A and B are shown apart, each in its own frame.
Chain A
Amino acid sequence: MSYRVVGSAVPRKEVASKVTGQADYVDDLRVPGMWYGITVRSTIARGRIQRIAFQDGVPWSEFTVVSAADIPGKNMVSMIVEDQPYLAADHVNHMHEPVLLLAHPDKNLLEKARALVKIDYEPLPTVFDIDSSLRGNPAIWGSDNVFKRYLMEKGDVDAAWSNAAHIVEGEYSTGAQEQLYIETNGMLATANPHDGVTVRGSMQCPYYVHKSLMALFGLPADKIRVIQQETGGAFGGKEEYPSMIGGHAALLAWKSGHPVKLIYDREEDMAATTKRHPSRTRHKTAIAADGTLLAMDIEFVIDGGAYATLSAVVLSRGTIHAPGPYRCPNVRVRSTAVATNSPPHGAFRGFGAPQSIFALELHIDKIARALHLTPEEFRQRNFLLTGDATGTSQIVRQPLDLPALQKRALTHAGYLEKKARFHLANQTAAIKKGIGFATFFHGAGFTGSGERYLQSVVTLQTTAAGRVEILSSMTEMGQGANTVLTQVAAETLGIPYEWVDIPRPDTSRAPNTGPTVASRTTMIVGRLVETASLDLRQKLKLPAECTPEQFAEACAICGPLAVSAQFQEPEGIFWDDRKYCGDAYGAYSWAVYVAEVSADTLTGEIQVDRFTALQEVGRVLHPVLAAGQIEGGVLQGIGFAIYEKVLFRDGAMVNNQMTNYIVPTSVDVPRIDVLFEEVPYEHGAMGAKGIGELPMDGPAPAILNALEDALGIPFDRVPLMAEDVLLAIGETSERRVA
């Protein structure tokens, strides 16, 4: 008898506390003697700090004030490159850059105090857009404003043009996007030289925070403790930023001698923290007479903001996904991440792939139109098949049938019938409808040797009473990590789901399992849990088929046990970091997304009426959680396409309130149909691949392709607002009349 919980909709592990309001997010915590913190930020996008004055109006002697000079260790946020200070010492490089920290026991006095700090700057020349940055004058970062470049090549692109029957070019761009987790960033810290530093808060990566705090305070690992509280949404927005705010709370605690809670309000969070990297992609494509791709020449640039943070890795993923799920013998991707004087951009679900896939899928439809082929026919001729090589020369080893996926998605969406019906009705209707789609892939886990470098560890801890604890640094943030990892452990051990506990990540107990990013939790960490569970069964000397009672008995006999599993790179995965080719990811998930849209020709308003999301994901471990990830990701993708616009003025976001940064409501969201297919991945937990970020890639291109179907206008950028649509409709009809 075995306990089957994988593949069924078991209750979310922490659901009871969430639906009753008992889940403890950081702002719900209160400790004795707690003070509150606030951040004083720059009011200029680039300049030299000349003078800081504390004007009368609050009792300054009661405040703790922290500046760069108070930092015990290194004034640098640890990420990839050491360029971002915790607190600006003499220069600022973006609006809202942190300069000072204030703390006081009365939360209510802080804003008044902040307004009384007067900082004078000598302004310096600024750069706010990709083209200005590429020109390098002024150089605001390094010698040439370039954080990172990649050259990814396959075959010989330059030789292919002469053989081309068709050459199609295009340029596409995407804007910044705010993660808008409904719980803002926050931390609660205690810190003193004797006991060390403890930070609790909203975060995705406790060990990133841990590492950064070690350097900030110059303390060893065992003097820093980081605990993840219940986290109210993250989407990448709490991947790197928590190191900054965690350090700030800890610095205030260190200097004040009190626990300090530092919570951002919405205005500050939106203005000052990371966003999705804006991008620009140029495509030049050679196609043979038979409609097959000969060469793809792609230029991909992203705006990283003022400091490097994770731009190199976002660029990497965007680069690798740029040529898409197509067979093409000659590929070149030249990619660049550049600096501007905006607040640094950072991780957001998809992490470079939504940007480059957007460009590609619009371009593929453009090519199809140029060749007078339907979008589905052109793709059919060029889809990767099992045994083909991707843009990084990775051989597709697993069974892959994109033509079948495409057919299934289009059939489910009623694509052909609707397309014909819409075209007919559009001849007389003011509200024109269209249907369009995108086909794409998303690699799960860290790129190339990244997972090997992480050396992730999971530990299972048993008690004599037969309970099992999963100790890992993977953070639950709504995606269902706690539930899925528990399912895997319970089923592998053959015990009830309820016997397995998964305490919140606490670096004093949990090993470093790597960050909760890159759609790696289920596939990679789940596999570690599986491995550790099998190892535990061995140590308990359990028979192949055993009952829960036998498990409990074995635990009683053995006493408490701890068993760990560490990531081992599967055999046969080769990645060349220098040449940027090889097996970029252990596995890709594959998808076809179909969008039905309406465009009102009187107002330019666009609406998504219906959406079909089909994906092949290896194995669905929890049907409700998996569907939830797709539904939520699709709506964020719809937001990315037609609702969410970050307005920058002089390097600052000016629509930093929820009244002016528009995300879709329950009235705006279409019905979303989620369909899964499963081709089990041998190295993923129970066959699973990653799904968390995949749904972010498809909606924007599907919607714009649908709009082209509706209006005959090929838009090339997102966010696409009603103003853009109405203008284009007007210009098109002017051209038609003329």
Chain B
Amino acid sequence: MRSHLADFDLVVAADLPEALRLLVAGWRPIAGGTDLMVLFNAGRLPYRKLVGVAKLPELNAITVSSDMVTLGAAVTYSAIQRHSVMQSEFPLLCQAASWTGGAANQNRGTLGGNIVNASPAADSPPALLVYDVELEFISTSGSRRISYGEFHTGYKLMQSRPEELLVKIHLPPHRRKLNQYARKVGARKAQAISKVCFNAVAEVESSVIKHIRVALGSVAPIPLRCRKVEAALAGQTLSSTLIAHARDLIAQEIQPIDDIRSTARYRTAVTQNLLSEFLGQLL
């Protein structure tokens, strides 16, 4: 453990207003700690004052209505997997939750933490992108919503201010019959940071793609929605020519790099192959 304890402080917020006041004073939120504490142990946590928000009721509620399913930002991966509506309506998110670490980390890790940690390799963001979710932030000056697709602007850069707390994730019901596909390629079958994380949903009728979303992790500085590929596929009739064209397009849209886990070349080839597999299943 490489951090000097006396340099740090942590308080657990008694309620949401207290948490928000502390954020204004420069404290940073910590929920499950599965990202921040890894940095802390390695002596690389840049924040010195942390406010615990994991137990705030507003951040833990899961509400279901006909208009919206809303998750509190501190809902854990385990809680997501156990929820019947999440299983039936948002299976890709349940899948992502089951991929994120082992049982112990899933019991503590939160969806909100995953989002604001902004790792391009995270497992949940691609699912959130294909589900067109909305984030809700709250601060001492009020609350606002933002489409998740606009949230990440660059590597670890987000459309949020330090005094704002992510409080809710809103998942709109599909109102469609969706084919849903997710696949994570990592160095092993469990507890692995992804080399490529591919999520896609599509509504197909008489071989025509009526609705499509494709999103990936680990192939760009941010979790990436492949809007160009989506635009080229929307309204088109499925065929092997279309799939070949989509393969070319996606190779241009993603921006993978060589890093400690894999190579750009591999990531591109795998992305193309998974896209083919997904589209092939729709044929």
Contacts and interface: CB of A to CB of B under 8 A. Distances in A.
Interface of A: 108-109, 111-112, 115, 265, 267, 430, 602-605, 607, 643, 647, 654-655, 657, 659-660, 662, 664-668, 721-723, 726-727, 730
Nearest to B189: A667
Contacts of A108: 1, 4-6
Contact of A665 (B6, B42, B191): B191
A669 to B, nearest CB: 10
A726 B1 contact: no
Contacts of B196: 603
B4 to A, nearest CB: 5
Nearest to A663: B188
B155 interface: no
A115 B43 CA distance: 10
A643 B2 contact: no
Given A602-B270, A602-B273, 8 more contacts: A111-B2, A115-B43, A267-B42, A602-B274, A604-B270, A666-B190, A722-B187, A723-B266
Contacts of B189: 607, 665, 667-668
B207 interface: no
A726 B269 contact: yes
A727 B266 contact: yes
B255 interface: no
Contacts of B192: 662
Contacts of B107: none
B117 interface: no
Given A111-B3, A602-B274, A723 B190 contact: no
Contacts of A722: 185, 187, 195, 266
A655 B260 contact: yes
B188 A660 contact: no
A272 to B, nearest CB: 15
Contacts of A662: 187-188, 192
B7 to A, nearest CB: 8
* B contacts with A: majority SS: loop
B100 to A, nearest CB: 13
B237 interface: no
A108 B195 CA distance: 36
Given A111-B3, A726-B270, A603 B185 contact: yes
Interface of B: 1-6, 38, 42-43, 102, 185, 187-193, 195-196, 260-263, 265-266, 269-270, 273-274, 276-277
A592 B164 CA distance: 62
A253 B265 CA distance: 52
Nearest to B267: A723
B83 to A, nearest CB: 23
* A contacts with B: majority SS: loop
A338 to B, nearest CB: 27
Nearest to A725: B266
Contacts of A430: 277
B102 to A, nearest CB: 8
Contacts of B263: 723
Nearest to A58: B4
Residue of A112, A603, A659 most packed against chain B (CB within 10 A)? A603
A529 B102 CA distance: 45
A479 B274 CA distance: 43
A660 B193 CA distance: 8
Contact of B269 (A607, A664, A730): A730
Nearest to B191: A665
Contact of B273 (A109, A603, A668): A603
A605 B260 contact: no
Contacts of B273: 602-603
Nearest to B277: A602
Nearest to A109: B4
A667 B260 CA distance: 23
Contacts of B191: 665
B97 to A, nearest CB: 16
B112 to A, nearest CB: 21
Residue of A657, A660, A721, A723 most packed against chain B (CB within 10 A)? A723
A598 to B, nearest CB: 12
Contacts of B261: 660
Nearest to A645: B187
Nearest to B261: A660
Contacts of A111: 1-4, 43
Contact of B4 (A112, A643, A654, A727): A112
B151 to A, nearest CB: 25
A665 B188 contact: yes
Nearest to B263: A723
B188 A643 contact: yes
Nearest to A729: B269
B257 to A, nearest CB: 14
B12 to A, nearest CB: 22
Nearest to A38: B2
Nearest to B196: A603
Contacts of B2: 111, 265
A660 B186 CA distance: 11
Nearest to B5: A108
Nearest to B269: A726
A599 B206 CA distance: 34
14 contacts: A111-B1, A267-B42, A602-B270, A602-B276, A603-B196, A603-B270, A660-B193, A660-B261, A665-B189, A667-B190, A668-B188, A668-B189, A723-B265, A727-B266
B260 A647 contact: yes
B260 A664 contact: no
Contacts of B195: 722
A659 B194 CA distance: 11
A666 B260 CA distance: 24
Residue of B187, B265, B274, B276 most packed against chain A (CB within 10 A)? B187
A654 B259 CA distance: 11
Nearest to A664: B188
A115 to B, nearest CB: 8
Contact of A659 (B102, B185, B193, B274): B193
A605 B185 contact: yes
B268 to A, nearest CB: 10
Contacts of B43: 111, 115
B195 to A, nearest CB: 8
Contacts of B260: 647, 654-655, 660
Contacts of B277: 430, 602
A24 B2 CA distance: 24
Residue of B191, B265, B274 most packed against chain A (CB within 10 A)? B191
B103 to A, nearest CB: 11
A714 B222 CA distance: 38
Contacts of B185: 603, 605, 722
B90 to A, nearest CB: 24
Nearest to B183: A603
A108 B5 CA distance: 7
Contacts of B276: 602
A115 B7 CA distance: 15
A148 to B, nearest CB: 34
Contacts of B188: 643, 662, 664-665, 667-668
Residue of B3, B189, B274 most packed against chain A (CB within 10 A)? B189
Nearest to A605: B185
A27 to B, nearest CB: 12
A109 to B, nearest CB: 7
A603 B200 CA distance: 17
A668 B270 contact: no
A264 B188 CA distance: 26
A665 B190 contact: yes
A737 to B, nearest CB: 15
Contacts of B274: 602-603
